[in-house]
Every structure is written in C-alpha cells, then in structure tokens.
C-alpha cells in the first residue's frame, strides 16, 4: 500500500521554455484517459529547469529541507474536464528523492547530475542524465529575466502555461492519479534563453520543434502539495 506524502518547498530560478506543437502529436504520447489541453488551438511542450529549495514533508521545519535542482519536459492536459500538467520526464539530482517520487507519486523521475549557477541576473543550468539503463539526456542553457514583471491574466497564454494546480500521472494498474499543488500567483518576466544543448525531445520520442520557444522567467514562490491520489468518478481516494 502507498503512503501519501504531502510536501512543502520553494521553487527558484524557473525558466518556462514553451514550444507550440500539433495536438495530435501530443495525443499519441499520452495515456488514453488524458486529453490534450490547447490554447487557441495549439498544444504545447515545455522544458522547465529550476531548483527546489528546502524540500521536506509538510509540517517539518525549513531547516531539515534539502535543495534539489530539477529539469522537466511537460505538456498540458485535462481529465474529465479538469486541467493539469502531464510530465514526460523529470531529471533530478538526488537519488533518494528520485526513488521517493517514483514510489509515492508515480512520476517518471530520472537521476541526473545538475549544476546551477546564478550570477549577474542570469542563470546557467546544465544537466546530464545518469539513470541506469535509460536514454542519456543532456541539457544546457543560460537564461534570465528581461523587461518588466507581470502577473499573468486569466485566459492568457502565460497563465495557460504556468497557472496549473494539478499534475496527472498513471499508476501501474492503469488508473489515473493526481497530486494537487498550492501556491500564490506567479510573478513572471519575459525571458531570454540560450539553449546550448537539449536532447529532451529526442529522448521522449518527439521530433525537435522547428519554431522558436516562448520563454518566461520567474524568481520563484513557495509551494505545498498533497499526496498522490487515485482519481475515480464521484470520489477521490488514497490507495
């Protein structure tokens, strides 16, 4: 039996690099129970590098938390009409955290060696997947804010790509599971991003998009999550 694992942490130095993609291309990579969510007719693939800080079970003090850099490839979906995020892969630095996320949240985490350096208004983020038996992934980017900060307006493209309060995954039994995520409103900036290396698309079976990404930067916010729950019509239950 699973043990629910609510967490609390901060997200820092986030880049949202977003590519417009034909929804049919995305649909073929999703579990049957999930539907592609679109904005103005387009599906989206997003690469998101960032750092989890002070990561710990809820109700434990900040001082016991750990910092975990992370890189994910995600898209946007609905399940029974409710929007959320679906992750194709998540690369993270900590072995124990990778194993815990796979066990408790059914998420496709992979162990990686990640280096993050933030200086002079820019973040350099480099990741190399070292997960035994899995496809190698390399990612390297330098990014940072430009322009004025803003809070995304409801219904805008920026809100569609960032204001997601639920993530979906699929359990070993095929059932859809979800985790709810709670945080304050995003403060975003337009972003510049130099993507020096990125093999996430190929590793997840996608052709590399030929368009330029739409990029946003956020300095971060504080986050809490629920444990992973099995989703059933009329009720939600822990396993």
pLDDT in tens, 164-204: 999 999 887 888 999 999 999 999 999 999 999 999 999 99
Res. 230 pLDDT band, cuts 50 70 90 = confident
Neighbours of 155 (CB within 10 A): 9
Give mean pLDDT, residues 2-24.
Answer: 88
Residue that has been written with the tokens 């790509």 in this structure: 161
Torsion of Cα atoms, 61 then 239 then 111 then 64, to 10°:
10
Domain boundaries defined on the chain: 7-237
Cα maximum dimension of the chain: 51
Helix (H) or strand (E) holding 40: none
Q: Which residue has the higher pLDDT, 11 or 239?
A: 11
Joined tokens for residue 70: 């992370």
Joined tokens for residue 43: 């599906």
Express each pLDDT in 85-126 by its tens digit: 999 999 998 766 666 666 556 788 899 999 999 998 899 999
Give mean pLDDT, residues 213-237.
Answer: 83
pTM for the complete prediction? 0.91
The pLDDT score that the predictor gives to residue 103 is 59
Q: What is the CATH number of domain 7-237?
A: 2.40.400.10
Express each pLDDT in 41-92 by its tens digit: 999 999 999 999 998 888 888 888 889 999 999 999 999 999 999 999 999 9
End-to-end CA distance of the chain: 7
Task: Give phi and psi for 137, each to the nearest 5.
Answer: -135, 135
Q: Is 202 helix (H, G, I), strand (E, B) or coil?
A: helix
The pLDDT score that the predictor gives to residue 126 is 98
């Amino acid at each position: 039996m699973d043990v629910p694992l609510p967490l609390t942490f901060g997200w820092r130095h986030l880049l949202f690099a977003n590519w417009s993609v034909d929804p049919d291309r995305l649909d073929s990579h999703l579990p049957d129970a999930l539907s592609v969510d679109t904005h103005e007719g387009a599906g989206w693939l997003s690469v998101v590098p960032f750092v989890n800080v002070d990561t710990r079970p809820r109700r434990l003090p900040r001082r016991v938390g750990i910092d975990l850099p992370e890189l994910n490839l995600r898209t946007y979906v609905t399940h029974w009409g409710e929007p959320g995020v679906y992750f194709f892969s998540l690369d993270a630095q900590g072995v124990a955290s990778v194993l815990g996320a796979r066990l408790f949240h059914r998420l496709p985490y992979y162990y990686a060696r990640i280096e993050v350096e933030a200086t002079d208004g820019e973040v350099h983020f480099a990741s190399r997947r070292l997960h035994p038996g899995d496809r190698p992934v390399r990612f390297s980017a330098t990014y940072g804010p430009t322009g004025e900060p803003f809070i995304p307006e409801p219904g805008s493209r920026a809100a569609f790509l960032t204001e997601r309060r639920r993530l979906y995954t699929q359990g070993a039994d095929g059932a859809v599971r979800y985790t709810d995520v709670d945080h304050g409103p995003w403060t975003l900036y337009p972003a510049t991003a130099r993507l020096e290396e990125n093999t996430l698309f190929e590793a997840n079976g996608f052709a590399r998009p030929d368009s330029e990404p739409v990029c946003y930067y956020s300095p971060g916010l504080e986050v809490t999550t629920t444990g992973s729950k099995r989703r059933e019509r009329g009720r939600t239950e822990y396993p």
